[in-house]
């Protein structure tokens, strides 16, 4: 089921101490979070930015394959990858909508990433199966819109299809 959040709601205010919550953050595949929601996320969660940056440097983040990060890092000096908190805190989905920050987002990559999250059973490397089991509340911004250049009227129906694939989850859209 989809619920639109009130105008002015901030996805970064979602309570990630609740293990049933998950937020999506649109990113690129080169490890740059220089503007928009990604920059705000980088400022609030610098350890996750470092993990994302390392993942990108290794060539491991690809469009169509979101990266699920285990809950809030309780220890600011320790990278979150060394202390996954699966099942104890909310989860972050870094969702690549474009290859490079200079390029436009692609609707097909958003579709592919949503399908991977909803139905993939062979992507345990990215944590999709565990993510589906743990979360109930999925908070999603206007993926690929704004700095990505896509139109919301094209993206929203794709998110509605995603919600249909995830009937046991509540989808919150930040429009």
Residues 122-138 pLDDT 10s? 555 567 888 898 999 99
Report pLDDT for 88: 65
Q: Which residue has the tokens 């919301």?
A: 152
The CATH number of the domain holding residue 115 is 3.40.220.10
Q: Is residue 84 annotated as part of the catalytic site, yes or no?
A: no
- Of residues 42, 98, 111, 142, which has the active-site annotation? 98
pTM: 0.88
**For the chain, what is the mean pLDDT?**
87
- Joined together, the tokens standing for residue 6 give 């009130």
Q: How many domains does the chain have?
A: 1
Res. 79: pLDDT tops 50: no
Domain of 116, in residue numbers = 2-174
Alpha helices in 11-104 (DSSP H): 36-44, 46-57
Question: Reading across the β-sheet that carries 137-141, which strands appear in turn?
Answer: 2-4, 170-174, 137-141, 21-28, 91-98, 67-69
């Amino acid at each position: 089921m989809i619920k639109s959040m009130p105008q002015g709601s901030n996805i970064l205010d979602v309570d990630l101490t609740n293990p049933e919550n998950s937020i999506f953050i649109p990113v690129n595949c080169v490890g740059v979070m220089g503007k928009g929601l990604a920059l705000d996320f980088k400022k609030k969660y610098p350890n996750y930015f470092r993990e994302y940056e390392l993942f990108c440097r290794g060539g491991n983040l690809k469009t169509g394959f979101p990266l699920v990060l285990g809950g809030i890092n309780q220890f600011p000096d320790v990278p979150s990858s060394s202390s996954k908190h699966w099942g104890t805190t909310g989860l972050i989905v870094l969702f690549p909508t474009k290859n490079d920050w200079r390029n436009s987002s692609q609707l097909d990559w958003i579709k592919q990433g949503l399908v991977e999250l909803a139905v993939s059973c062979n992507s345990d490397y990215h944590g999709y199966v565990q993510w589906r089991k743990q979360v109930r509340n999925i908070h999603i911004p206007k993926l690929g819109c704004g700095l990505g250049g896509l139109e919301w009227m094209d993206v929203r129906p794709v998110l509605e299809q995603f919600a249909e694939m995830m009937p046991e989850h509540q989808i919150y859209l930040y429009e």
